[in-house]
Amino acid sequence: MQLNAIFPTRDIGSDPAKIRDWAQAAEDLGYAYIEVPDHVFGATARDGWTPLYNETDPFHETFTTLTFLAAATKTIKLSSGVLILPQRQTGVVAKQAAEVDILSGGRLRLGIGVGWNHVEYASLDSEWKTRGARQGEQVEVLRKLWTEDLVTYLGRFHDLHEVNIVPAPVQRPIPIWFGGSSDAVVKRAARLGDGWMPIIPPDEQAEAKLADLRGHLKSFGRDPEAFGLEGWLRMNEADPQRWAEAADGWRRLGAQMVMLYPMYRIPTFDEQIETLRRFKDVAGG
């Protein structure tokens, strides 16, 4: 089972040398992917709503960070983890992702989600209530733009007539993996995705979700064995024993990959590197 590294966007700071050194450390330790989180805006709490991340949490911009990481590394693969796709223009995402794929030599995976922050949606002039339907249509359009010479597409959210993305990405198409664990997301991932990245413990709920996923894959005529699975280990404290237990749980459930997803802060660069080392030690068996 491969291990992936979440880019420590809230704690790495703004020194390009440290960002480079962290990425190269992840590569040297044998991590399979670096995944860069996504939020455009921080937001304050309001009207009884408290954001998971607020106005004090830094988030480096996803695509430009992925491009920098592509230049700083040689072989480690790169992913958004996850890009809130319905907040963005589909054509711009297609262009940005294609460029990262080109500059990385074909190392990009596009991880996508629908998000939880309605304030961010409103601030970006994006529709909150239709985000799931829009995401599904966006995936169809992205694949067309990455694989066809000229694209014509008329849907609920897109009206394209003989347009294209030039230069094209190395991967045609770039793999798309879905984050999230709602029933609608699981079904959408089975219909359209190359893989699924649930942020849930490897327990009975995960087993039930995986059974649903495999059932949907079969109903859509897709091979469950060819579909990817990455467990995200959301942790509230630095507890290597719990990391190992969660990784083993996802291994038993058939995940090809796991990623430690700290919800706690890791304030120093040395601690960020040590976290990479410790997770590799306890989960890499």
Cα angle, residue 184 at apex, residues 142 and 65 outer, rounded to 5°: 45
The H or E element spanning position 231 is strand 228-235
Q: Give the range of the structural domain holding residue 27, as residue numbers without chain letter.
A: 2-283
What's the distance, CA 282 to chain centroid? 23
Question: Residues 23, 54: contact at Cβ < 8 Å?
Answer: no
**pLDDT reported for residue 285:** 59
pTM of the model: 0.97
3-state secondary structure of 266: coil
DSSP character at residue 284: -
**What's the rounded Cα separation, in Å, for the pair 120 and 117?**
5
pLDDT (0 to 100) of residue 284: 85
CA angle, 20 then 22 then 28, to 5°: 100
pLDDT along the chain (285 residues), means of 10: 98 98 98 98 95 95 98 98 98 98 98 96 97 98 98 98 98 98 97 97 96 97 97 97 98 98 97 98 87
| Tokens describing residue 2 | 């491969």
List of residues 6+ apart from 111 with CB closer than 8 A:
35, 79, 80, 81, 82, 83, 176, 177, 178, 179, 197
Structural domain count, the chain: 1
Q: What is the 3-state secondary structure (H, E, C) of 64-89?
A: HHHHHHHHHCCCCEEEECCEEHHHCC
- The secondary structure element, H or E, covering residue 24 is helix 16-28
CATH number of the domain that residue 50 is part of: 3.20.20.30
Q: Which class for 35: exposed (0-12), middle (13-18), buried (19 or more C-beta within 10 A)? A: buried
